[in-house]
């Protein structure tokens, strides 16, 4: 008879013990949730101040005259009918096409090769070497390439002469610019993306790769049928971010234009044209219209990559 209460107490003890950890876990989860909002708030404030609000202001300017009255689509019509607009569109499209294809293919291949290196110290060293050019600012990177592209002083002058370029002007001829700008952009930005893709490859479960090896798949088949499908979202993300950066082409043609005494035109890209509209012609509304058009095209292409890459699909 005396054992019944103790058994009941013993039976009831685990229940209370179970309840306390649940309450504790809920409080810990709530605390971390509040802290996460605190960390995100900084990004949200900067995005509002330097992203969303300037965009809304540019949209407003693109639909108004200088005096603030509603202009309809007249600013867009004037910008599109400008004789420099379509050539600038063609230049940016050619550069983005060359750069995106080379970036997506070469970065993915290089990341797979680095990931396949068996020794950790060698893999880390290679990634560090790839990342070094990204530490240079855009203008500094272009200044460095001014020397590399000049056959008279370039350390790779033999390569330039093999392509038939004997002077700096011949090297930066307008027909060569999309490839030149793509090489400069790849040299300065590919290293960071290789590091990102390397991290994505590390997220693939080891069991999946081991199962592929047990099935007799070599390195190439494993990359094509296992790793690449699992990298689809990361490749899509790289395409979206690189597209957004590529359409903003400005520093490279501007520096080359100044260095070549306008051999490269100062209205080569859409951003340069928007700059001329705003600060040379005093047409801020037309400049805003070009910026909004560029934003719309970028958004449409980004949506395409999001859908094709399944960026927001759950695994």
Q: Mean pLDDT in the chain?
A: 85
CB 253 within 8 A of CB 268: yes
Q: What is the mean pLDDT of residues 20-34?
A: 62
Task: Provide the percentage of residues in the chain whose pLDDT is more than 90.
Answer: 38
Domains and CATH numbers, the chain: 74-309 (1.10.3720.10)
β-sheet bridge partners, residue 186: none
The model's pTM is: 0.81
* Residues 72, 75, 78, 83, CA torsion sign: negative
Task: Provide the percentage of residues in the chain whose pLDDT is more than 70.
Answer: 88
CB 70 within 8 A of CB 63: yes
CB 79 within 8 A of CB 85: yes
pLDDT classification of 292: cutoffs 50, 70, 90 = very high
- pLDDT 10s digits, 64-84: 998 889 999 999 999 999 999
CB 290 within 8 A of CB 273: yes
């Amino acid at each position: 008879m005396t054992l019944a209460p103790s058994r009941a107490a013993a039976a009831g003890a685990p229940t209370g013990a179970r309840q306390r950890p649940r309450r504790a876990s809920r409080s810990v989860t709530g605390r971390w949730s509040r802290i996460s909002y605190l960390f995100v708030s900084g990004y949200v404030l900067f995005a509002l101040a330097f992203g969303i609000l300037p965009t809304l202001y540019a949209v407003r300017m693109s639909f108004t005259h200088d005096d603030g009255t509603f202009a309809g689509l007249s600013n867009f019509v004037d910008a599109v009918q400008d004789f420099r607009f379509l050539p600038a569109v063609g230049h940016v499209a050619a550069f983005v096409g060359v750069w995106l294809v080379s970036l997506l293919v070469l970065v993915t291949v290089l990341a797979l090769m680095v990931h396949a290196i068996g020794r950790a110290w060698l893999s880390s060293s290679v990634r560090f070497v790839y990342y070094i050019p990204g530490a240079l600012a855009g203008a500094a990177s272009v200044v460095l390439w001014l020397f590399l592209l000049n056959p008279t002083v370039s350390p790779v002058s033999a390569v330039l002469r093999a392509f038939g370029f004997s002077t700096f002007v011949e090297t930066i001829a307008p027909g060569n610019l999309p490839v030149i700008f793509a090489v400069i952009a790849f040299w300065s930005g590919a290293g960071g993306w290789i590091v990102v893709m390397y991290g994505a490859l590390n997220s693939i479960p080891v069991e999946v790769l081991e199962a592929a090896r047990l099935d007799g798949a070599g390195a190439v088949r494993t990359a094509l049928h296992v790793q690449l499908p699992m990298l689809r979202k990361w490749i899509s993300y790289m395409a979206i971010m690189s597209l957004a950066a590529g359409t903003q082409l400005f520093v490279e043609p501007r520096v080359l234009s100044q260095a070549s005494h306008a051999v490269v035109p100062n209205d080569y890209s859409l951003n340069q044209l928007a700059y001329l509209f705003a600060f040379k012609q005093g047409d801020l509304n037309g400049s805003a219209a070009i910026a909004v058009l560029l934003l719309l095209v970028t958004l449409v292409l980004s949506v395409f990559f999001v859908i094709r890459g399944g960026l927001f699909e759950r695994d």
